[in-house]
Every structure is written in structure tokens, then in C-alpha cells.
């Protein structure tokens, strides 16, 4: 069943100090080959940048399109959308404009969800850029709905992934349903999740490190391209949705270049030898997935936060919340309410840990969103 894409957008999502610039580029990692596909070509990494731009520099410009024709076709098919037309194929960003002059900005590396696309959280990333952050959203070859590259080539989600992802899809779904209905301590939930991932999703365990290498390679390019505009004082932030959020946690735990991170509803797949987490971290979850996302609250010596959304579904943490009308897919929480909290969590957290702002991570009033400080000392 197909449905029409609504042009609805969150109100005022670029109402910060800056306008938002965007540019796309490709990194070719000659040290690695494609892991999926034939495994013979150098690995390509698609990047879309979101960054602060002076409002005077964009006063006579039009918003840039969000999707290429190839991506428009892929997203249309994936979401059963019938009309991503020119009137809705844009965001409040401007193509190839200079980074705002006279200031330096912190960097955040963002990773998409598995089977998503680099623009899937464009509203959120524009909101961050408008408030003074340089953000790189990174695509992973053959693991996105579609990726566009500088040489004109594209790739699509590899159909073999569906078969490789689970040892038994039926078994995984049933086991997941049983686990998510139970109440566990953080430790008990983690133990049960480790059993689950090793039995049903060993393929995903191996993807986390590969995605982390994509992010690390992209960070090198971002630092080179934007050297004059980057503020290195507080390090680099990591964030992402789903497996991208899991990758953010992995990077914060094992890469010294990353100083803090946010995971948006990502199950914590992967192997994690005992090592104390020493970076501030925020775990955002919907109530469905809490038991898959307790790892950040164990063996940490840093500020750690948990934000739990009721009436939400996993995919609703992306821009799909604004154009997929089926609440059983995106959750019953109104899109504007979801977005208000999501932006608040990111801006407050990163202002505190990437800009050194002397602020608390105080909860916004809500009947549907719970904020907790849950640091557990190692």
C-alpha cells in the first residue's frame, strides 16, 4: 500500500544563530576493500556535511534538494511513498556555501541506522548545525537504502544482508519479543542480550567495527577539509541512530579522538572486552528496546544519561516521523513532541561536553519522556 509523502517539517528547526550549509563528498579508502558485494573494489564512504553558515551569505539563495534522483527513487520504494516531488525534496540548508566566518565549531560524526540513508536525520542535524556544530553524516556501502558517490556511481542495500543478518529471523523475533516484555536489572538485561546476539545476530556483531572504521576515515577527511573552522578543544562528538548509535558508543569507548556520544535507540551489538567507559554518554531509548540498550550504564566512570520515550517506535526517531502516517511504525508520540526532546537532548548534551557550557542535563517537562542520570562507577 502506497501513501503520499507529506511536506510537514518540524517548526523552527534551523532557528539557531546560523543558517545551515551542506555539501556531499566521497572518501575512497584504499586500505580496505568492499566487505559486502564482491569484495574486490576499494571501499567508498559517502558523507553529507551540515555546518553553520552566516545568514548574510545565504540571503539570496534557495534551499538545496535533499535527494538525488537515484536516492529519491530508492527512498520512494523503501517507504512506499508516492510523491517526493520538488516541492518537498528540500531541507532548510544551502549547498556549497562557506562555513560561518570568524568562529570555530565542534565536530560531531553521525552514523545512520542500518538500511537507512545519510539524510535520514536531516532535521536533527540541521538543528545542530544552526546552533553551532559541524556535523558529518556517514553512509556505509551497500548497507544503506542508497548511497551516491562523486564519480556518479551509486549503490543500494545488498539483498544478501537480509539472509545474513539473522541465523533465524523467526527465532530472533520470538526471542526479542520475550526479552522485551520482561523486567531486568541493567546487568541481567545485558547478559540476556549477549546471549541473544551471539545466537541470532552474529553478523551484526561484526559490522560495528567496520562501521567504526568508516567513521574514523571520514573524520580524517573532515578535519582536513574544515581545519580552519574546527574547534579541537573539547574533542569530537559521536552520535547515531540504531546501529549508527551503537557505533557511536563503540567509538567513544575505544577511540581517544571521541570525547562524548549519544546513541539514539541502538541495540548495543558487538564485542566489548572489559574496559571502563571514561566518556560522557547519553542513551536514548523507546520503551520497546530498553532491554537491548543497557550496556552504557555498566562499568562507566563518566556522566551517563538515559532518556526514555513512551509511545515511540524505533523508526520514529528519524525524519520518517514527519512523513510516514502509520503510528504502528513511528509511534503515537506527536512528531513535534518527539523532535523537541530529541533536539534538546543533543544540544544540551553537546553544549555541555563539546563547548564546555556550565549547564545541567535537566529534564524537559513531559508525561511521555523520562530523563535519568544513571552513572555506575566502575
pLDDT tops 70 at residue 316: yes
What average pLDDT score do residues 350-365 get?
A: 95
Percent of the chain with pLDDT over 90: 76
pLDDT tops 80 at residue 162: no
pLDDT tops 90 at residue 97: yes
CA angle 163, 167, 169 (to 5 degrees): 70
Q: How confident is residue 2, by pLDDT bands cut at 50, 70 and 90?
A: very low
Q: How confident is residue 11, by pLDDT bands cut at 50, 70 and 90?
A: confident
Place of cell 540548508: 93
**DSSP conformational letter for 6:** P
Q: Which domains, and CATH codes, for the chain?
A: 19-373 (3.40.50.1820)
**Dihedral sign for Cα atoms in the order 189, 190, 196, 199:** negative
Q: How confident is residue 30, by pLDDT bands cut at 50, 70 and 90?
A: confident
pLDDT tops 90 at residue 89: no
Query: Of the given ranges (139-153, 160-174, 295-309), which has the lowest mean pLDDT?
Result: 160-174
Cα–Cα dist 365/127, whole Å: 21
Q: Give residue-wise pLDDT tens across range 187-214.
A: 999 999 999 999 999 999 989 999 999 9
Cα–Cα dist 312/57, whole Å: 38
Q: Give residue-wise pLDDT tens across range 305-315.
A: 999 999 999 99
pLDDT tops 90 at residue 136: yes
Cα–Cα dist 371/261, whole Å: 16
Q: Give residue-wise pLDDT tens across range 242-271.
A: 999 999 999 999 999 999 999 999 999 998
Helix residue spans in the chain (DSSP H):
69-79, 122-130, 160-165, 169-180, 186-200, 202-225, 243-254, 327-330, 335-354
User: What does pTM read for this prediction?
Assistant: 0.94
- Give the pLDDT score at 36: 63
Set of cell numbers at residue 375? 552513572
Cα–Cα dist 274/269, whole Å: 15
CA dihedral 88, 350, 187, 245 (to 10 degrees): 30
What average pLDDT score do residues 297-322 get?
A: 94
Percent of the chain with pLDDT over 70: 93
- Give the pLDDT score at 38: 56
Please, are residues 371 and 361 in contact by the beta-carbon 8 Å criterion?
A: yes
Amino acid at each position: 500500500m502506497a501513501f503520499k509523502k507529506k511536506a510537514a517539517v518540524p517548526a523552527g528547526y534551523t532557528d539557531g544563530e546560523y543558517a545551515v550549509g551542506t555539501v556531499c563528498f566521497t572518501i575512497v579508502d584504499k586500505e580496505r576493500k568492499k566487505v559486502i558485494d564482491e569484495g574486490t573494489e576499494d571501499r567508498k564512504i559517502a558523507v553529507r556535511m551540515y555546518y553553520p553558515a552566516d545568514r548574510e551569505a545565504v540571503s539570496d539563495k534557495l534551499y538545496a534538494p535533499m535527494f538525488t534522483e537515484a536516492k529519491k527513487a530508492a527512498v520512494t520504494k523503501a517507504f512506499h511513498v508516492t510523491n517526493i516531488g520538488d516541492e518537498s525534496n528540500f531541507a532548510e540548508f544551502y549547498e556549497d556555501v562557506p562555513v560561518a566566518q570568524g568562529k570555530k565549531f565542534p565536530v560531531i560524526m553521525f552514523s545512520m541506522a542500518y538500511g537507512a540513508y545519510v539524510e535520514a536525520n536531516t532535521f536533527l542535524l540541521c538543528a545542530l548545525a544552526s546552533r553551532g556544530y559541524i556535523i558529518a553524516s556517514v553512509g556505509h556501502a551497500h548497507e544503506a537504502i542508497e548511497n551516491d558517490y562523486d564519480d556518479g556511481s551509486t549503490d543500494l542495500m545488498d539483498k544478501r544482508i537480509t539472509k545474513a543478518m539473522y541465523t533465524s529471523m523467526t527465532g530472533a523475533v520470538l526471542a526479542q519479543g520475550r526479552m522485551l516484555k520482561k523486567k531486568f536489572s541493567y546487568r541481567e538485561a545485558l547478559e540476556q542480550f549477549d546471549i541473544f546476539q551471539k545466537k541470532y545476530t552474529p553478523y551484526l556483531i561484526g559490522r560495528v567495527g567496520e562501521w567504526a572504521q568508516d567513521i574514523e576515515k571520514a573524520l580524517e577527511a573532515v578535519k582536513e577539509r574544515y581545519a580552519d573552522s574546527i574547534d579541537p578543544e573539547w574533542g569530537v562528538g559521536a552520535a547515531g541512530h540504531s546501529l549508527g548509535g551503537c557505533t557511536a558508543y563503540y567509538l567513544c569507548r575505544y577511540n581517544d579522538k571521541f570525547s562524548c556520544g549519544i546513541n539514539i535507540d541502538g541495540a548495543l551489538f558487538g564485542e566489548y572486552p572489559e574496559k571502563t567507559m571514561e566518556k560522557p554518554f547519553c542513551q536514548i531509548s523507546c520503551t520497546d528496546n530498553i532491554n537491548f540498550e543497557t550496556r552504557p550504564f555498566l562499568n562507566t566512570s563518566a556522566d551517563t544519561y538515559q532518556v526514555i520515550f513512551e509511545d515511540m517506535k524505533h523508526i520514529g526517531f528519524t525524519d520518517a516521523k514527519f512523513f510516514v502516517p502509520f503510528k504502528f511504525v513511528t509511534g503515537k508520540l506527536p512528531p513535534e513532541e518527539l523532535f523537541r526532546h530529541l533536539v534538546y537532548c543533543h544540544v544540551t548534551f553537546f553544549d555541555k561536553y563539546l563547548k564546555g557550557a556550565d549547564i545541567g542535563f535537566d529534564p524537559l517537562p513531559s508525561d511521555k519522556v523520562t530523563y535519568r542520570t544513571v552513572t555506575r562507577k566502575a
